[in-house]
Structure 1
């Protein structure tokens, strides 16, 4: 007879205990991820939190070893089942990735989660020169022992669908193959001229690339390919609906082995949680509560997207004060002139907020805006490369937001644009974010955690360019039904 447990008094049965342990989620961290931009990082934060899994997202501080403080910071969140690091690699070149990603991946791998995710945008936009996902995979697979590297990009909740390896995205209620998408096909930095994701990724890495298609998933007999001539293959998994989403999660989880590295959108997070719910390991998703109203909000936008442009126009028509940041002045070589333009834009916003109106300071209003079509000339006049000028725009918007916060007691702020979100959020002295409430899918209302009492508890929404409907800023205010 098996001995009785001194803790519970019941008879021990090692075999039964092992089977019971296998039929539930393991204790501790389930997933750790590095987000290639800040808006995408909060997308994954929302997906896991809404599934009932406590998740915390840490923001990269400006330091030589930015993640050295992570264990101490993580101690403040003992119940976390998922941990993220928000980064900026989506806008960086491979040399920057070589210099910065290994330390981030090593830090996350040491946390011991069975899956290490490089969280990418659900449009997978990238190139060999900027935001190379292939480069990130090459750097990441060696940090985990697995012999395959899944790529789950489709996310039905966000209007993203992968069919036989080809990615489709919904815009304005209509689905488009990505190379014919009205925005992503003409993205100013990483235009997507190829919807076939295995072909697209093959431009960025020499490693083997494979596909598990929707037919294999629906049959339930899908098996991922393993190492090929010693190389870990990148394996795309089709997701077209809730059935294939859950089956993608099953495949990744059941074939995780001793640990996997995965370059995936939040589709991976939705897939895993869908499978865990199907197994009964998670309850039906409680979701996030709706955002409570705020008196006013302040927003800065560096997005060039037509989606964001429509949102700015809606806000203007519904009582928001919208003010353009003059890029020629803000990026000028004359530092005093640049500082004066930043101070002017912040003052306009502050005056509006004090008068009871929400305010948006923006750098462009759609892809056809002269600030976009003439951006190269502005950058050249400032003596900057295009990439340097783009980062400077984010820094200017961060300075505008700091100026606004210094003069007001705002409860809630919004940042629109992936690159802008990184520059702004990382400049506000925020250590971490947790998801607090729902705004729109992919852009939750977050609570800031900071050692600075003026920032701790600040509510912040980080919105990608393609996220939300025309009334997004009204929803961020929490008063859309009254506007």
Structure 2
């Protein structure tokens, strides 16, 4: 793969990023790699030694869990990571958030993250870009819209996000929603400002940026507006004094917009056939409560996956360690019989009264325990929070893209401090990502029988 010819900073990097959850972080890695930007995703702020092991990288990121943090936890965790990434002095720093703006004043506060970013990266207004037309996310006149099946809904009327169990969206105007999380002044670059010749767009955008706002939201609904935003981000990053990074808050729409604006070379193929392993068995850990994941679980079971159920109350109760051992033994027995194994929690109604962090940690222990008994070489984890807990339990240090599977849910290869999981093929899938046959299609992947994905 020939890397893109893109602007880079002092360390040869075009972009650094921090993801507020694990599946969103792999989404960014996928978008950049497919755009011809070799990208490495770390689970912690990388040491110089780890960076040196990836001399070809043009972008690096850190997969975090700030989407589930309180503001106080953010204050304790994020400044150190942001400072390490700021020291790499890439032209752009991206704080990656979900394309449905999952956040509240008390959980995953994007406003608090912006305040921390402002302290680490002082001065210039921070653009926000949330929409990803490729994933059915659109922003018009400050309001966010998201698809659900064939329909597109305003976010406060979305059948899922308006009823989200942790961060329900009761407001589709993103700057109004953000005002409950921070006092930083905000402004909007709407669709009207992004139309017409480039010079006119630049003039209108610069007028908004000069208004005194610290956060500026950009509408995006299609390729044309996406290109204008990407061109604006590139222009602003190249114009920063002293090589200071431009800070951008947003979804993977940031990378899709940059791809529209950076020099030609998009669509570089990745994941050659011999890079996909011949794997006879696949393990799925499903902790997501999303309806999409429920459909994928049902499809997998109908197609022969051995189901191992996890009782959330038992997995997080006073005898959690003993219960985890029981689940591991059941899963190991199913694995030894051959075929694919699916370890799953029940649908939403069965987990609503259980601490999600405790359940995620339990699923991580189960994945690690199973890996001690059987040879797992391909793993799929469903659920953004679950993915973070499982990846850390397995000692994973880095991820790189192997093959695109479904938007935002690629097949990756891991390096791990734990030799049992070094070289593991892994998919970290958000609950709402993928088609109903997603697990089955991954299980069918092999170098000699690649599917048309």
- What is the TM-score when the length of structure 1 is the normalising length? 0.85
State the alpha-carbon separation in 1 of the partners of residues 97 and 251 from structure 2: 5
Note the 1:7-18 alignment, pairs <5 A.
none
Q: Mean alpha-carbon deviation: is it higher for 402-411 or for 45-54? A: 402-411
CA drift at 1:344: 2.1
Match of 2:7 among 25, 31, 35: 25
Aligned-pair CA distance for 1:340: 2.6
Partner of 1:264: 250
Displacement of 1:417 after TM fit?
A: 0.7
Which has the higher Rg, Structure 1 or Structure 2? Answer: 1
The aligned runs of 1:70-85 (5 Å cut-off) are 70-85=47-62
Q: CA deviation at 1:144?
A: 2.5
Counterpart position of 2:439 = 473
Q: Distance in 2 between matches of 1:144 and 1:481?
A: 44
* Residues 293, 477 of structure 1: 8 Å contact kept: no
CA distance in 2, matches of 1:235, 1:262: 10
Unaligned runs of 5+ in 2: none
**2: distance between equivalents of 1:26 and 1:401?**
39
CA shift for structure 1 position 407: 1.4
Query: Structure 2 vs 1, CA of residues 136 and 24 (structure 1 numbering), >3 Å: closer, same or farther?
Result: closer
SS of corresponding position for 1:176: strand
Counterpart of 2:320 (choices 326, 338, 341) is: 338
Q: Deviations over 1:133-168 (max 9, x none)?
A: 011011102322551101111112211111111111
In structure 1, distance between residues paired with 2:269 and 2:162? 33
1:392 pairs, out of 358, 371, 375, with 358
Separation in 2, partners of 1:398, 1:423: 5
Q: 2:209 aligns with which of 220, 226, 232?
A: 226
State whether residues 94 and 131 of structure 1, in contact with CA within 8 Å, keep that contact through their aligned partners in structure 2.
yes
Aligned to 1:443, what secondary structure does the other structure show?
A: coil
- Separation in 2 of the partners of 1:481 and 1:172? 24
Cα distance change of structure 1 residues 285 and 145 upon mapping to structure 2, 3 Å threshold: farther
Say if 2:259 and 2:266, in contact at 8 Å, map to a contact too. Answer: no
Number of residue pairs aligned between Structure 1 and Structure 2: 428
How far apart in 1 are the matches of 2:210 and 2:388? 35
Aligned counterpart in structure 2 of residue 410 of structure 1, from 354, 376, 385: 376
Task: Tell me the TM-score normalised to structure 2 length.
Answer: 0.90
Which blocks of at least 5 consecutive residues in structure 1 are unaligned? Answer: 1-22, 61-66, 380-388
1:298 is aligned to 283
Contact 1:414 1:462 in 2 (8 A): yes
What's 1:386 paired with? none
Aligned to 1:382: none
Show CA shifts across 1:225-259 (max 9, x none): 23655xx5211111111111111100111122323
Matches within 5 A, 1:26-425: 26=8, 28-60=12-44, 67=45, 70-219=47-196, 220=198, 221-222=200-201, 223-224=205-206, 225-226=208-209, 233-256=214-237, 257-258=239-240, 259-276=245-262, 281-289=263-271, 294-333=279-318, 337-365=319-347, 367=348, 369-372=349-352, 375=353, 379=354, 389-425=355-391
